[in-house]
Amino acid sequence: MDDYLKQALEIVKAQASVRTMTEEEITSMVTKLADGIKNISGGVVPEVETEEKAPPVDPKKAIREKSIVCLESGKSFKILTKRHLAKYGLTPAEYREKWGYAKGLPLVCKELQRERRKKMKEMKLWEKRIKK
């Protein structure tokens, strides 16, 4: 067995112990990793994509009723957190600017936005401040 393949298997084994993976995922991951390790150790540097990739959905349609689609990862969430965006080297403000959203737009689904607005109105924080 190749040294590259052994290293790839160790990496995939560690990954599979942390999360559930299908047989297809495991096979493709081992293959990609073995090829990558072989190329890197052979002195072949993989090309880094410098061109901007197209978003998975139209930015105007990314904020939905029950989810918001991250235009970087293509995954759906209820809230786009700072922590998630940091994985792509972006702050929430940079993300909004990059994808053409308004400065103060909350990065949450519409349903959650309505719930938060309703809750804040019920709390009437502005009245509590005046009563000092």
Q: Give the pLDDT confidence score for residue 70 in this predicted structure.
A: 92
46 located within any domain: no
Q: Of 2-16, 54-68, 99-113, which has the strongest mean pLDDT?
A: 99-113
pTM, to two decimals: 0.54
**pLDDT of 50:** 45
> Tens of pLDDT along 76-102?
999 999 999 999 999 999 999 999 999
Among 9, 8, 61, smallest CA distance to 35 is for: 8
- Report residue 64's pLDDT band, with 50, 70 and 90 as the boundaries: very high
How many domains does the chain divide into? Answer: 2
CATH number at residue 113: 1.10.10.1550
In a domain, 132, yes or no: no
Pair (74, 111) in one structural domain: yes
Q: At what angle do helices 23-41 and 3-18 cross, to 10 degrees?
A: 140
107 lies in which domain range?
59-123
In a domain, 53, yes or no: no
Q: Are residues 63 and 106 in the same domain?
A: yes
